[in-house]
Amino acid sequence: MVGAADSDHDGNISYEELYQFVQFEVSRDFKQFPQLLQPATGKMSDRPAFGRRSTSVQADHLVAPNVVQVKLQGPLIQVRERLVQVPSVRLSDAFYDVLVEPIKGGYNLVHRSGNPIQRFEEKDVVALVDRIRAQADVSRLIEARFSRQDFNVNLEVMPETKGSYSSGERIRFQASAAREGCPVLCNIDVTGTVTVIYPRVGEAVERIGFGRSTALGEGQVLPPFGLEYLKLIVFRDNIEACQEWAGKVFSPGSVDFARFLGLLQSDSAGRAQVTMRLLTRGD
What pLDDT shows up at residue 162? Answer: 72
Q: Is residue 45 predicted with pLDDT exceeding 60? A: no
Sign of CA dihedral 224, 247, 272, 15: negative
What pLDDT shows up at residue 54? Answer: 37
Q: What is the mean pLDDT of residues 127-136?
A: 96
Under the banding of pLDDT at 50, 70 and 90, the label for residue 53 is: very low
**What gap in Å lies between CA 12 and CA 2, rounded to an integer?**
8
Measured CA to CA in angstroms, residue 120 lies from 87, 97, 211 at distances of 22, 18, 44
What pLDDT shows up at residue 239? Answer: 80
Of residues 62 and 283, which shows the higher confidence score?
A: 283
Contact between 36 and 44 (Cβ < 8 Å): no
Q: What percent of the chain has pLDDT over 90?
A: 64
User: What secondary structure, in 3-state letters, does 70-126 show?
Assistant: EEECCCCHHHHHHHCCCCCEEECCCCCCEEEEEECCEEEEEECCCCEEEEEECCCHH
Q: Is residue 28 predicted with pLDDT exceeding 90? A: no
Contact between 276 and 217 (Cβ < 8 Å): no
Average pLDDT, whole number, for the chain?
84
Q: What is the mean pLDDT of residues 27-35?
A: 54
Return the CATH architecture of domain 68-142: 2-Layer Sandwich (3.30)
Q: Half-sphere exposure (CA, 13 Å, Cβ side) for 216?
A: 32
Q: Is residue 37 predicted with pLDDT exceeding 90? A: no
Under the banding of pLDDT at 50, 70 and 90, the label for residue 19 is: low
Kindly report the length of the chain.
Answer: 283
What pLDDT shows up at residue 27? Answer: 53
Please give the sequence-ordered ranges of beta strands (E in DSSP) within the chain, or none if there are none: 13-14, 48-50, 68-72, 89-91, 98-103, 106-111, 116-121, 153-158, 164-166, 170-177, 182-188, 194-198, 214-220, 227-235, 249-250, 271-281
Of residues 221 and 31, which shows the higher confidence score?
A: 221
Phi-psi group of 254: left, alpha or beta (phi > 0 → left; psi -120 to 50 → alpha; rest → beta): beta
For residue 235, which of 180, 155, 173 has the smallest C-alpha distance?
180
What pLDDT shows up at residue 11? Answer: 56
Contact between 68 and 97 (Cβ < 8 Å): yes
Under the banding of pLDDT at 50, 70 and 90, the label for residue 60 is: very low
Q: Is residue 13 predicted with pLDDT exceeding 80? A: no
Peptide bond into 102 cis (omega under 30): no
In the chain, where does the domain assigned CATH 2.60.40.2550 lie?
A: 144-281
Contact between 221 and 168 (Cβ < 8 Å): yes
Q: What percent of the chain has pLDDT over 70?
A: 77
Whether the model clears a pTM of 0.75, i.e. scores above it, the answer is yes
In the chain, where does the domain assigned CATH 3.30.413 lie?
A: 68-142
What pLDDT shows up at residue 187? Answer: 97
Cβ-based neighbours of 214, under 8 Å, separated by 6 or more:
174, 175, 176, 183, 206, 207, 208
**What gap in Å lies between CA 15 and CA 50, rounded to an integer?**
8
Under the banding of pLDDT at 50, 70 and 90, the label for residue 6 is: low
180-224 tens-digit pLDDT: 999 999 999 999 999 999 999 999 999 998 888 999 999 999 999
Contact between 227 and 117 (Cβ < 8 Å): yes
H helix intervals, 121-248? 125-143, 239-244
Chain mean position to CA 48: 25
Under the banding of pLDDT at 50, 70 and 90, the label for residue 112 is: very high
**What gap in Å lies between CA 243 and CA 206, rounded to an integer?**
11
Return the CATH architecture of domain 144-281: Sandwich (2.60)
Sign of CA dihedral 163, 172, 225, 117: negative
